[in-house]
């Protein structure tokens, strides 16, 4: 069972994952929901950063011109119009 040292406003607390889960279980429902959203946001930020890094690592596609893109936009607008 591993522990992690958590620093909160100059306080250091060593907790196991099980202890952290137990502490979270003591929170009010609304506070647990806030925590869940914060964790989801953190994961989304990490996923987005990985995606951006992956996209930047690929060579650009040069066979698509601005004119091709604009013609596709016009075609979609005609279909929707």
| Residue pLDDT, tens place only, 13-64 | 888 999 999 999 999 999 999 999 999 999 999 999 999 999 889 888 778 8
What per-residue confidence (pLDDT) applies to 13?
A: 86
The reported pTM is: 0.53
Domain that holds residue 75: 3-80
The structural domain count of the chain equals: 1
Residue 1: C-alpha distances to residues 16, 44, 57, 59, 76 (Å): 7, 28, 38, 44, 57
């Amino acid at each position: 069972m591993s522990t992690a040292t958590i620093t909160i406003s100059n306080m250091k607390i060593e907790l196991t994952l099980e202890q952290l889960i137990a502490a979270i279980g003591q929170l009010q429902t609304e506070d647990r929901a806030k925590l869940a959203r914060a964790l989801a946001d953190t994961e989304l930020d990490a996923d987005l950063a990985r995606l951006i890094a992956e996209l930047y690592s690929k060579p650009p596609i040069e066979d698509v011109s601005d004119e091709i893109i604009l013609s596709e936009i016009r075609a979609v607008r005609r279909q929707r119009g």
